[in-house]
Structure 1
Amino acid sequence: MDKIKIKNLVNGAIEENSSLFLIELNFLPDNKILVVVDGDKGISLKECVRISRAVEHNLDREEEDFSLEVTSPDIAQPLIVKRQYKKNINRTLQVKLIDNSKIEGVLKNVDENAIDLEWKVREPKPVGKGKITVVKNKTIPFKDILEAKVKLLF
């Protein structure tokens, strides 16, 4: 299987829509090709079919049998590429850091090197009894993130 040709076909099909981006391209056993694509505003089934056809119609099944799956990312899977973080600004993320600590907060900003999270906590009042709600912020470099997932809220 010509992996370079397939990669070029996938990239060419994705480039036809500037809001789309490749998350994953895997060549699995038994000549299975898995393509995971996302978009800045999600990806429609129609776009997945278009990408699949663009790849399939340029490969010869007589030459080599294969199966091709073009899909959107699973919401329960960790974020992989930085563009996924940008897509999820103002959503709640669960972030596991390389020191195995965890932070949950609303994604407020993404740049080339880090993300900014914001969350609220109840803390004792500086003076007197009771608690107050305090807004906390933290900038987390990408190099410190082991895994980040969008928290599903129902």
Structure 2
Amino acid sequence: MSNKVTNKLKEIAESVLSTTDFFLVDIEIKGGDIPEVWVSVDGEDRGVNMDECAEISNEMSFLLEAHDIFSDKYRINVSSPGLDRPLVDKRQYPKNKGRKARVAFTDEGEDREVQGILQDVFEDEIVIEMEEESKSIAFDKLVETTIIPSFK
């Protein structure tokens, strides 16, 4: 699909989400005979539940049809990003404080990776607590942050 379609989908998703306490994390369009639109949403203070995903999906479907985005059939899937997806928005970090994370970043032109507890989140940086030390990493140096699930 073209960037024009993706941008229109983002615009529609953000308009639907503007009336909720959720934000858009990502939109993917997977091809095939019937296009599949994958919409990933999250909340700053909490996750999104299945009923809320269904509501968002219904509202988006209505607007997609009103704007005639797809000329034929399509599928729409609205969900939370899931534990295995990297954090891509600053707003995802605060609710993950205290959780174990793997953080890839650049430091003086070198690629680095640390693993530890996401100890704190500030406007411009995060703090990862490792066994021996804490490491402050600026958001603009982050390459990828993935939460490591703990099933206790």
Equivalent residue for 1:148? 145
Moved more, 73-82 or 29-38: 29-38
Q: Which moved more, 1:61-70 or 1:103-112?
A: 61-70
CA distance in 1, matches of 2:125, 2:39: 27
Give TM-score, length-normalised by structure 1: 0.78
CA distance in 1, matches of 2:64, 2:134: 50
Alignment of 1:50-129 (within 5 A): 50-60=55-65, 63-98=71-106, 99-121=110-132
The question of whether the paired residues in 2 share the 8 Å contact of 1:9 and 1:54 is answered with no
Q: Which string of whole-angstrom CA distances, capped at 9 and with x for unpartnered residues, describes residues 48-98 of structure 1?
A: 000000011233389432211111112012111111112211111111223
Bigger Rg over Cα: 1
Show the counterpart of 1:24.
26
Root-mean-square deviation (CA, aligned residues, Å) is 2.2
The gaps in structure 1 that reach 5 residues or longer are: 122-135
Instruction: Give 5+ residue unaligned stretches, structure 2.
Output: none
Point out 4+ residue stretches in structure 1 off by more than 4 angstroms: none
Distance in 2, Cα, partners of 1:106 & 1:10? 32
Q: 1:14 aligns with which of 14, 17, 23?
A: 17
With the length of structure 2 as denominator, give the TM-score of the two structures. 0.79
Percent identity between the two aligned chains:
29
Q: Which amino acid aligns with 2:57?
A: S
